[in-house]
Amino acid sequence: MEGTLRRRSGKMWMVLICLMLNCFARIESLSVSVNDVECVYEYVLYEGDSISGNFVVVDHEIFWTSDHPGIDFTVTSPGGNIVHSLKGTSGDKFEFKAPGSGMYKFCFHNSYSTPETVSFYIHVGHIPNEHDLAKDEHLDPINVKIAELREALESVTAEQKYLRARDARHRNTNESTRKRVIFYTVGEYLVLAAVSTLQVIYIRQLFSKSVAYNRV
């Protein structure tokens, strides 16, 4: 099943600040299932906007199975070219400048049968430049600085989201390690006790009178 998430371009709260407030920020975690490709669409308004983001594969099924080999990630521009791609990772950051405006497609591909949950964050950041300043007389140079400041804060937030997702994944691993330690150790004790009891019973049987005369 292909799920596509399409983004509509922004509604602006105020005309005066419209050029400054193009921050599209969200993080989503998709569970990409059996041989599936999950795509997210993001609309980029201006060419040259910086698209940044990160994604982390949050492994849920790690108690019995070994570590998942990772998923593939591709970014396709509206023209159909692959702008960015990562293969077989369990999480990474990315950043690039949009070569053109339009609908960008961010796809995750899981080539293995275990379903995975991917937690990702995509941010399209726009800073008004001199061209925009010339066009709109309401825009002050200070607005450019404020936009830069906002973008910087966005990158801090993005980093925090990445850390949070990685922390969640790390926590999963640790919890599973703890459970495994207890489970396998107690299991080992029980198996040991059972095996030795069986040994004793077997040896006793070898010497029991009903069987004894012919055997030992």
Asked if 163 interacts with other proteins (CB under 8 A), we say: yes
Asked if 143 interacts with other proteins (CB under 8 A), we say: yes
Minimum distance of other proteins from residue 52's CB (angstroms):
13
Asked if 1 interacts with other proteins (CB under 8 A), we say: yes
Residue type, 124: V
Asked if 199 interacts with other proteins (CB under 8 A), we say: yes
Compute CA distances 166 → 99, 154, 189, whole Å: 30, 18, 35
Residue span binding other proteins (CB under 8 A) among the ranges 31-39, 49-57, 68-76, 81-89: 31-39
Among 79, 80, 134, 156, binds other proteins (CB under 8 A): 156
Name the residue nearer to other proteins (CB basis): 97 or 178: 178
Minimum distance of other proteins from residue 18's CB (angstroms):
10
The answer to whether 148 touches 127, Cβ cutoff 8 Å, is: yes
Among 102, 141, 171, 205, binds other proteins (CB under 8 A): 171
Among 63, 170, 205, 211, binds other proteins (CB under 8 A): 170
Minimum distance of other proteins from residue 21's CB (angstroms):
5
Name the residue nearer to other proteins (CB basis): 10 or 102: 10
Q: SS3 for 154?
A: helix
Name the residue nearer to other proteins (CB basis): 107 or 161: 161
Distance between CA 37 and CA 30 in Å, rounded?
A: 10
Distance between CA 10 and CA 17 in Å, rounded?
A: 13
Compute CA distances 14 → 10, 17, 107, 136, 141, whole Å: 12, 6, 33, 14, 18
Distance between CA 202 and CA 190 in Å, rounded?
A: 18
What is the C-alpha end-to-end distance of the chain, expressed in Å? Answer: 68
Name residues contacting other proteins, limited to 49-108 (CB under 8 A). 60-61
Compute CA distances 145 → 59, 104, 152, 180, whole Å: 40, 27, 10, 52
Name residues contacting other proteins, limited to 107-136 (CB under 8 A). 115, 117, 119, 121
